[in-house]
Amino acid sequence: MMDETLLNFSRGSLTLLNGILAIVMFSIAIDLSTRDFKSLAKAPKPVLVGLASQFLVLPFLTYLLVLVAQPQASVALGLILVAACPGGNISNFITHRAGGNAALSVSMTGFATVGAIVLTPINIAFWGGLYGPSAEILKATSIDPISIAITVSLMLVLPLILGVTLNAKRPDVTQRIRRPLQWLSMGIFVAFIILALAANWTHFLAFAGGIAGLVIVHNALGFGGGYTIATLAGLSPYDRRAVTIETGIQNSGLGLVLIFGFFGGLGGMAVVAAFWGIWHAIAGLTLAAFMARTEAAV
């Protein structure tokens, strides 16, 4: 039974994943400067729309999907947890490929990462608590929002601060290491996901069939929700592409850390996050190729 199956994931593997995500966040942060934050303070609308799309619209759409599909408790909570995470590490790269506002994407990732300290635990507890079966898992695990906030802070926010600081103090260094580090961190993360799946291949094969369709629909809701709110808010096509991709590319790696750190590697949750980690990259790159066929008006 999916709700009772625990995947194999050692404490050492979890520590390694924490380190990989910290490197990924650092590679994003060295693209940020204090000028980005100052310019956004003067024109904050695109970032605010993006944050609303990520932390309000996507969790709400996820809850509606859960109500309609009525999946098993661990699968439902996995979908809700992924939706509660900030933007994924490859959103900036995909936005650039799509011809969207990559600087806005990087800034949204930064702000969402900081906001995740508070908003990720709140969204998991709130939306997970509204669906009866997943609420039972939350009660059984006695999830502590403060512990989640500390995990998010150490793994994501600290590298963010270090990256911005290095970029401010030694831009020559960040210029040299930016691109190699981004490709390296992305490659390591993908390799880690593949190895984790290989270690749990029988469970993955048993569960993936029932979960794949839900993840694909869920991811489509992310992209569609981001595009819709950006359009309704009157953002330019250039900014709209960034918000669309940022909403559909989630930090599933953080989701896996939380699942193994706080939920014991519960099967349905872990397979959801792992499949998200693969699918959102495929869907995002496909969408970017389609968008790039036409130039976006700024």
Torsion of CA 177, 15, 264, 60, to 10 degrees: -20
The three-state secondary structure class of 87 is strand
Of the pLDDT bands very low, low, confident and very high (cuts 50, 70, 90), residue 5 is very low
| Chain segment 49-68, per-residue pLDDT in tens | 999 999 999 999 999 999 99
Task: Give the number of C-alpha atoms closer than 13 A to the C-alpha of residue 2, restricted to the C-beta side.
Answer: 23
Is pLDDT of 7 > 60?
no
Q: What pairs with residue 250 in β-bridges?
A: 87
The pLDDT, as a whole number, for residue 137 is 84
pLDDT of residue 76: 93
Alpha-carbon distances, residue 244 vs 104, 173, 207 (angstroms): 12, 31, 29
Q: CA 252 to CA 204: how far, in whole Å?
A: 16
Q: What are the structural domains, with CATH classification, of the chain?
A: 11-291 (1.20.1530.20)
Separation CA 129–CA 137 (nearest Å): 9
pLDDT for 204 equals 66
Whole-Å CA distances, 263 to 4, 37, 65, 77: 11, 35, 22, 10
Name which residue leads in pLDDT, 25 or 283: 283
85 Cβ neighbours under 8 A, 6+ residues apart? 116, 120, 250, 251, 252, 254, 255, 258
| Backbone region of residue 72 per phi and psi (left: phi > 0; alpha: psi in -120 to 50; beta: other values) | beta
DSSP-assigned letter for residue 154 = I
Residue 28's pLDDT is 73
pTM of the model: 0.84
203-241 pLDDT, tens per residue?
A: 666 666 678 889 999 999 999 999 999 999 999 999 999
Percent of the chain with pLDDT over 70: 84
Residue with tokens 């590490």: 89
User: Who's near 130: CB < 8 A, 6+ residues apart?
Assistant: 63
- CA dist., res. 79 & res. 276, Å (int): 9
More confident position, 94 or 11: 94
User: How many Å apart are CA 134 and CA 78, to the nearest integer?
Assistant: 9
Q: What is the pLDDT of residues 84-130, one digit of tens each?
A: 998 877 788 788 889 888 878 888 888 888 888 889 989 999 999 99
Contact 210, 76 (CB under 8 A): no
What are the helix and strand counts (H, E) for the chain? 15, 0
Cα 198–202–205 angle (5° rounding)? Answer: 95
Which of 276, 284, 215 has the alpha carbon at shortest distance from 246? 284
pLDDT of 158-201, one tens digit each? 888 888 888 888 888 888 887 788 777 777 767 766 766 666 66
Count of residues in the chain: 298
- Give strand pairing partners of 87: 250
